[in-house]
Amino acid sequence: AVFLSALQKAADAYPKPQGVKFSYGTAGFRTLGERLPSVMFCCALLAVLRSKKLGGAAIGVMITASHNPEQDNGVKLVDPSGEMLDPTWESHATLLANCTSTESLITTFIDLAHHLRVELDACAPSSIIYARDTRPSGKKLVEAFEAGLSAFQGLKVVDLGVHTTPVLHYVVRATNARDGEQGKPTVEGYYERMAGAFKTLIGNRGPLPTLYVDCANGVGAPAISTLSSYLGTSLPLQAMNDSTTTPGALNSQCGADYVKTRQALPPSVEDAGLLDKPDTRSCSLDGDADRIIYYYLGEGGKFRLLDGDKIAGLVALFLMDLVKKAKLGQEGGEDTAEVGVVQTAYANGSSTKYLKGRGVPVTCVPTGVKHLHHAAQKYDIGVYFEANGHGTVLFSPSFLSTLAVHEPTSPDSSTATKQLLALSQLINQAVGDALSDMLLVEVVLAHRGWTAVEWDAAYEDLPNRLVKVEVADRFLFETTDAERKLTSPAGLQAVLDEAVGKVEMGRSFVRPSGTEDCVRVYAEAKTTAGVDTLATTVSDLVK
């Protein structure tokens, strides 16, 4: 075939580095940026294959390592609906990435195409959309990716350039949607749709007080500046940590992951002294702007965290109220739409109790966006958030059609119906999106007339600890029950249960990390002394 000789020639320039085993994990391939060129080349092949397999639908490729250090990088594929790559294809990615010669790469690729029943020579075109974050290694990785694409003819290719992960997901989803029903499939379309819905929802409630945004010195910085220009005066945004070209600055001492794990302000934000009033709220994005964490300084200047759990609670109860007001039932009756929340085992016990106490159904699933997203699709309105700030809200197609044809019987129900429709446009339903989630939080606070203080009052987090434990082989650790129980090593869970039983309101679980070579220990308890004991005991038992 024509492309084979081109492929051969191109692949020779991107040999796999020796002694590295690549694996397509929860967040795609992720490691030191300098190790990734051959992987990028393989991802081009895989993206072509995936698009051909799906009749030429547009596939996304995002080059980022999110909250990880600046020297790291990564790549993941996005399916036509804007969701993560179908998990059954992860092993195909791993297979290609580990080929040790051009010959084996080509054979593997052709075998894979055959096995997947994809006709490489047939004229079904492939369509690929890609973007990268601000990492210094990104440019070279894009070149390697493009070298892979160059072996094929007649591809439809869109290079979005430097953008956030959620922008890429949005454009892929909108490109594949019928009749522009997910918005215009462009970067401008993304900002326009979101900002337009925000202004509708804020109405005459604005302008809101200034919001301080820690951009983690990453791609969130230009995104916040662009968003600002679309928002006009409705929400003044002040960017902090927006140095995208300072070497070593990305995710260093700042960003959502820093704030969540340290449970403290980034030093730069502390030094700026801007959060001096209790109603001054601030937020941190992560390195590719798909996560967000809010916080403020409470009484006595005490740091108060408003994490993904707090966002889920705020948003779910607001949506429930709107659904009630919209009276979507027969003849103006209440009811009908179920608003549910999806969490992982990392959700603070207090948040789960708070939600259940208010009649919100809660599902617990294993870590990783694909699990949460999938479970959220089972509700009419599915709110999913990881405690680390990654999450979004999904409106089911049937709920959206109910809204569209609903004939409200009162002004109140008419307003609520319009607000639900605007929310479905404000929210990025493809993936967790720091910008869209930020606007969502701002909308709810504005409608409730709340500052961060009233939001925070919903419940008090149980003291908790997250500990990283280095072990000889993390693959020995296997879990069940949404990662809350170990099935291997044999007998360990019983010992852990005993330790947990000794601590008041204790809860703890152990799971192998999907992104780092370690196991993670989570513990919570009624008191800080209790949680410290529990975290230490469990960590020691695991070693």
Q: Is 388 in the site for ligand 16G (CB under 6 A)?
A: yes
Give the residue from 172, 181, 178, 184 showing the smallest Cα distance to 79: 172
Question: Which residue among 66, 127, 351, 508 is the active-site one?
Answer: 66
What gap in Å lies between CA 463 and CA 453, rounded to an integer? 19
Task: Rule CB under 6 A: choose which of 14, 26, 259, 441 binds ligand 16G.
Answer: 26
What gap in Å lies between CA 475 and CA 497, rounded to an integer? 21
# residues contacting ligand 16G (CB under 6 A)? 13
Given Zn ion, ligand 16G, none, residue 286, with its beta carbon under 5 to 8 Å by kind, binds: Zn ion
Q: Is 341 in the site for ligand 16G (CB under 6 A)?
A: no
Q: Is 286 in the site for Zn ion (CB under 5 A)?
A: yes
Smallest gap from Cβ 218 to Zn ion, in A, equals 9
What gap in Å lies between CA 118 and CA 132, rounded to an integer? 28
What gap in Å lies between CA 395 and CA 391, rounded to an integer? 14
Per CB under 6 A, the segment of 303-311, 313-321, 385-393, 445-453 that binds ligand 16G is: 385-393
* Cβ proximity of 370 and 306 under 8 Å: no
Task: Rule CB under 6 A: choose which of 99, 168, 369, 503 binds ligand 16G.
Answer: 369
Given Zn ion, ligand 16G, none, residue 351, with its beta carbon under 5 to 8 Å by kind, binds: none
Task: Rule CB under 6 A: choose which of 310, 390, 465, 507 binds ligand 16G.
Answer: 390
Q: Is 304 in the site for ligand 16G (CB under 6 A)?
A: no
**Cβ closer to Zn ion: 66 or 419?**
66
Q: To the nearest 10°, the Cα dihedral for 150, 44, 98, 248? A: 100
What gap in Å lies between CA 341 and CA 330, rounded to an integer? 25
Q: 66 an active-site residue?
A: yes
Q: Is 479 in the site for Zn ion (CB under 5 A)?
A: no
3-state secondary structure 395-451: ECHHHHHHHHHCCCCCHHHHHHHHHHHHHHHHCCCCCCCHHHHHHHHHHHHHHHCCC
Per CB under 6 A, the segment of 184-192, 434-442, 471-479, 510-518 that binds ligand 16G is: 510-518
Name the β-bridge partners of 488. Answer: 478
**Cβ closer to ligand 16G: 367 or 537?**
367
Give the residue from 233, 250, 249, 238 showing the smallest Cα distance to 213: 238
Q: Is 537 in the site for Zn ion (CB under 5 A)?
A: no
Smallest gap from Cβ 25 to ligand 16G, in A, equals 8
What gap in Å lies between CA 255 and CA 136, rounded to an integer? 18
Q: Is 514 in the site for ligand 16G (CB under 6 A)?
A: yes
Given Zn ion, ligand 16G, none, residue 90, with its beta carbon under 5 to 8 Å by kind, binds: none
Q: Is 92 in the site for ligand 16G (CB under 6 A)?
A: no
Q: Which residue has the tokens 């002040």?
A: 238
Task: Rule CB under 6 A: choose which of 175, 352, 363, 367 binds ligand 16G.
Answer: 367
Q: Is 516 in the site for ligand 16G (CB under 6 A)?
A: yes
Q: Which of residues 64-103 bind Zn ion (CB under 5 A)?
A: 66
Given ligand 16G, Zn ion, none, residue 199, with its beta carbon under 5 to 8 Å by kind, binds: none
Q: Which residue has the tokens 């003849």?
A: 331
Task: Rule CB under 6 A: choose which of 7, 10, 11, 27 binds ligand 16G.
Answer: 27
List all residues 6 or more positions away from 128 whose beta carbon is below 8 Å from its beta carbon: 44, 47, 48, 51, 58, 59, 60, 61, 149, 155, 156, 157, 158
Task: Rule CB under 6 A: choose which of 74, 308, 368, 382 binds ligand 16G.
Answer: 368
Per CB under 6 A, the segment of 14-22, 248-256, 274-282, 386-394 that binds ligand 16G is: 386-394
Structure tokens at 18: 């020796």
Per CB under 5 A, the segment of 284-292, 327-335, 486-494, 513-521 that binds Zn ion is: 284-292
* Cβ proximity of 448 and 201 under 8 Å: no
Long-range contacts of 449-455 (CB under 8 A, 24+ apart): 451/278, 451/279, 451/281, 452/278, 452/279, 452/280, 452/281, 452/294, 452/295, 452/296, 452/304, 452/306, 453/278, 453/279, 453/296, 453/298, 455/306, 455/310, 455/314
Q: To the nearest 10°, the Cα dihedral for 101, 103, 104, 110? A: 140
* Cβ proximity of 345 and 509 under 8 Å: yes
Q: Is 428 in the site for ligand 16G (CB under 6 A)?
A: no
Task: Rule CB under 5 A: choose which of 70, 214, 288, 442 binds Zn ion.
Answer: 288
Q: Could you list the active site residues? A: 66
For Zn ion, the binding residues (CB under 5 A) are 66, 286, 288, 290
Q: Which residues bind ligand 16G (CB under 6 A)?
A: 26-27, 367-369, 386, 388, 390, 513-516, 520
